[in-house]
Amino acid sequence: MSAAIGASEAAIGGRVMLGELDRFCRAALAAVGADAPTVDAAARAMLHGTRHGVDSHGVRLLPHYVTVLNEGRVNRRPTLAVSRENGATASLDADHAHGALAAYVGMERATEIAAANGIGAVSIRNSSHFGPAGAFALAAAEKGMIGVVLCNSDSFVRLHDGAARFHGTNPIACAVPFAGERPWLLDMATSAVPYNRVQLYRSLGRELPEAVASDGAGRDTTDAEAVEMLAPVGAAFGFKGAGLAGMVEIFSAILSGMAPGFDILPMGGPDLATPRGLGAFVMAVRPDAFVGREVFEAGMRRYVEGLRASPPRPGSRVMAPGDREWAEAARREATGAPVDPETMKEFQELAKRYGLASPAIEIGGT
Amino acid sequence: MSAAIGASEAAIGGRVMLGELDRFCRAALAAVGADAPTVDAAARAMLHGTRHGVDSHGVRLLPHYVTVLNEGRVNRRPTLAVSRENGATASLDADHAHGALAAYVGMERATEIAAANGIGAVSIRNSSHFGPAGAFALAAAEKGMIGVVLCNSDSFVRLHDGAARFHGTNPIACAVPFAGERPWLLDMATSAVPYNRVQLYRSLGRELPEAVASDGAGRDTTDAEAVEMLAPVGAAFGFKGAGLAGMVEIFSAILSGMAPGFDILPMGGPDLATPRGLGAFVMAVRPDAFVGREVFEAGMRRYVEGLRASPPRPGSRVMAPGDREWAEAARREATGAPVDPETMKEFQELAKRYGLASPAIEIGGT
């Protein structure tokens, strides 16, 4: 007993097996009163992030999700409803569900539509933070379809010539299935770097790369401590990153009747009780609606093999989008995922509060 | 007579009215035996580029198009055929048509499908160079729909960690209509810069920006003379640009059963007789399939006005995608478009060869 309290007071990080993390996420979400579909979707999305090395969108989000389910921002028992079905499109009112539930349900509907129509697009309204966009694109790929996911978020990225936060990190995800391999998988923010990179460099005392972040006046800075906003991807050609962020904003927020990122409540609070009203856009495309399955498979094979055979720059290695993630997933499935000390401490607090067993650390230290 | 020959030998550039450029493009395309739909589509696309200041994809392409129509790469009298209709998708075999004809016909079909189904996607095969992607996205916006256009091209852009040409400049275009204004219009290559920027800097003897182009070994270079390939957009985060280029490649080439960019004949020859077999992907989305038209209009208004009101960096001005192009179009509709001396010389040669009146120069010098 005293040992357990001791561990809670001075938590250390370590590697934890994925199954153990999944168990703990589900237990904590259920403990806060989330219904079974919410528990399942939120855990599945977080494990996608953690499994593939996208730790910013992995299990470290659990304490935040528990808080917003508790405080009321996110509906623990939502009733999701599809409306406005127009042949190959639908609108999904997520009833302020956890964003992962909204996105999985939306993509499920998109794949059903695409099965009959070749393509299916679903606009999602009244949603919330969904975690890793790639998780929902992958859900389409697991059914043999191309999945595309777009979502905006609260303002944290300046415009190309801007000096204030405007767009969110507005991700674009695309998953393309092909035979004999895990899918081609792109999951990218339209900002130059993710904010967690800034946080990491702060804690390490390292200088940021040039032209990825700005101070409060919009001036470029490499001082992680001074960062007040991110730059759009593209450096001197950041109008491209800002333009892509705008496309994401229009498809996810405007097309769903939700507010643009600069009008939504920040993810981090202080208000954790009011629903944020996020939008998202998910699309499934059936390759064999356009071309014979064998032709598509041969084309993907030729393309990806050509990519992997493209000569690298000295000291580098070319990889297809997803290659790094699949390799990391294999490692983590075998040896567990690193959980940083701060997240482990929060897990132990959750365990204590809800009477759960803390995640068992496989190997100490991270 | 001697004056005309003199002008041909020492052509000077100048501003030419858009109507006069349109007349000349149509006359030259008809003279080489292109059918009426080809003439119309190719002229319309080139004038889109020239009208909006995208001169790399404007009337300077006319001599190239005349050549490839003459040599046989592009079919002067194609029979375009739609097949594989699956509810909301279709495949268009363009019969080696001019790419602009293929793209306009494809987008026309996509908007017809979207009118009935909310969304419509058309995969185009056996196409050729289509010019400015934004022209075809705009064709959807002119019908009140969001248009998306993706197309690959021959290899000229290295991978993020690559040292060889791999992707083309693979553009992404998106046009979003809303009341009372010209559409929001994004038309961007997924390379850091367009190749014509390199050519321009060569002729000016100027240094390129950092990290936008590489020499034959894939090393970054700012020497325009040494450039053998472009970098993907994103600088230190060029895996994002390369990933987007890959998404474009998959949607345009692989989904249409065409070859990836590294397997297609280069645009510039020497073989100008063999069809290149380009693919493209066009999609139309009807906003009122997802949300009430008034809600969508109000959302776009709020978003774009918020963007234009976002504080600029010192000495800069924030603009929505398309703002610069619409302003340039207004200027050029009033005072004509600049035609550089080299292009004017080629026009005069075409005029002589086919017995056409050369474009009348409104104001000499460019």
Query: How confident is the model at residue A6, as a pLDDT?
Result: 37
Cβ(B191)–Cβ(B157) below 8 Å: yes
Same domain, yes or no: B177 and B280: yes
What string of pLDDT tens digits covers the 366 residues of chain A? Answer: 333 333 444 557 899 999 999 999 999 999 999 999 999 999 999 999 999 999 989 999 999 999 999 999 999 999 999 988 889 999 999 999 999 999 999 999 999 999 999 999 999 999 999 999 999 999 999 999 999 999 999 999 999 999 999 999 999 999 999 999 999 999 999 999 888 788 888 888 899 988 899 999 999 999 999 999 999 999 889 999 999 999 999 999 999 999 999 999 999 999 999 999 999 999 999 999 999 999 999 999 999 999 999 999 989 999 999 999 999 999 999 999 999 999 999 999 999 999 999 999 987 765
CATH of residue A220's domain is 3.30.60.50
User: In chain A, which residue's Cα lies nearest the Cα of B315?
Assistant: A161
Question: Do B51 and B88 reside in the same domain of the chain?
Answer: no
Average model confidence (pLDDT) for chain B? 94
Asked if residue B323 is part of any domain, the answer here is no
> How large is the average pLDDT for residues B274-278?
97
- For residue A350, the SS3 value is helix
Residues B52 and B31 in one domain: yes
CATH code of residue B247: 3.30.1370.60
Q: Is A176 on the interface with B (CB under 8 A)?
A: yes
A246 has a chain B CB within 8 A of its CB: yes
- Whether B176 is in a domain gets the answer yes
Render pLDDT for B98-125 as a digit per residue (tens, 0 to 9). 999 999 999 999 999 999 999 999 999 9
| Tens-place pLDDT, residues B59-69 | 999 999 999 99
For residues A124 and A28, membership in a common domain is answered with no
Nearest CB to B218; choose among A188, A251, A313: A313
Q: Of residues B190 and A197, which shows the higher confidence score? A: B190
> What is the SS3 assignment for A122-145?
EEEEEECCCCCHHHHHHHHHCCCC
My answer on whether A123 and A66 are in the same domain is: no
- Given an 8 Å threshold on Cβ–Cβ distance, is A321 in contact with B295? no
B86 chain-A contacts, CB cut-off 8 A: 117-118, 286, 289
The reported pLDDT for the residue numbered B365 is 62
Count other Cβ atoms within 10 Å, centred on residue B120: 31
Residue B328 lies in a domain: no
Q: Which of residues 267-326 of A touch B (CB under 8 A)?
A: 285-287, 289-292, 295-296, 299-300, 302-303, 306-307, 310-314, 316-321
Question: Can you say whether residue A185 is alpha, beta or left, with left for phi > 0 and alpha for psi between -120 and 50 degrees?
Answer: beta
**A254 to chain B: closest CA residue:** B299
Look at chain A and report how many structural domains it folds into.
3
Report CB contact under 8 Å: A313, B163: yes
pLDDT at res. B153: 94
For B162, which of A210, A235, A311 is closest by C-beta distance?
A311
Is the CB of A231 inside 8 Å of chain B's CB atoms?
no
The answer to whether B188 contacts A300, with C-beta atoms less than 8 Å apart, is no
Does one domain contain both A139 and A215?
Answer: no
**Considering the domain boundaries, does residue B47 fall inside one?**
yes
> Are residue A61 and residue A210 in the same domain, yes or no?
no
CB atoms within 10 A of CB B34: 28
Q: What angle do CA A365, A10, A31 make, to 5 degrees?
A: 95
Q: Is residue A155 part of a domain?
A: yes
Query: Which comes out higher in pLDDT, residue B24 or A6?
Result: B24
Give residues 3 to 42 of A whose Cβ lies within 8 Å of B. none
Q: Looking at the partner chain, which of A184, A254, A321 has a beta carbon nearest the beta carbon of B299?
A: A254
- pLDDT of res. B2: 34
Where is the domain boundary, B200, B231, B262?
B231
Answer yes or no: do A67 and A96 share one domain: no
The minimum CA-CA distance between A175 and chain B, rounded to whole Å, is 9
Residues B346, B335: Cα–Cα separation, whole Å: 22
User: What is the percent of chain B where pLDDT is above 90?
Assistant: 87
What number is the average pLDDT over the span B52-76?
96
* Residues A254 and A147 grouped into a single domain: yes
Would you call A317 and B161 a contact, using CB atoms and an 8 Å cutoff? yes
B195 touches A: beta carbon within 8 Å: no
Give the structural domain span for A44: 1-71+336-366
> What does the pLDDT read at residue A1?
32
CB pairs A-B closer than 8 Å: 267
Same domain, A250 and A129: yes
pLDDT of residue B12: 76
Strand B165-167 to B157-158 pairing? antiparallel
Helix (H, G, I), strand (E, B) or coil at A288: helix
Task: Show residues of chain A in contact with B237, CB under 8 Å.
Answer: 192-193, 212, 233
Clarify whether residues A8 and A149 are in a common domain: no
Q: Write out chain A residues lying below 8 Å of B184, CB-based.
A: 246, 250
CA distance A306 to B218: 17
Interface of A with B in 97-136 (CB under 8 A): 116-121, 123
Q: Does A163 lie at the interface with B, CB-CB under 8 angstroms?
A: yes
Q: Which residue of B has its CA nearest to A292?
A: B257
Residue whose pair of structure tokens reads 């030729």 in the numeric block: A302
**Do A265 and A201 have their domain in common?**
no
The stretch B318-344 carries a mean pLDDT of 95
Q: What is the pTM of this model?
A: 0.95
